[in-house]
Amino acid sequence: MPSPQLEIDGRQVARALDLDVDSFRRLMDDGRIAVLCERGTGEDAGTWRASYYYQGRRARFPVDARGRIRPA
Q: Is 10 helix (H, G, I), strand (E, B) or coil?
A: helix
Would you say 19 and 33 are in contact if contact means Cβ atoms under 8 Å apart? Answer: no
Categorize the per-residue pLDDT at 1 as very low, low, confident or very high, splitting at 50, 70 and 90.
low
Would you say 46 and 55 are in contact if contact means Cβ atoms under 8 Å apart? Answer: no
Helices and strands, counts by H and E, the chain: 2, 3
Question: Domain residue spans in the chain?
Answer: 10-63
pLDDT digits (tens, 9 = 90+) for 22-63: 999 999 999 999 999 999 999 999 999 999 999 999 999 999
Q: Determine the Cα angle at 45 with ends 48 and 10, to 5°.
A: 10
Q: The pTM is what?
A: 0.86
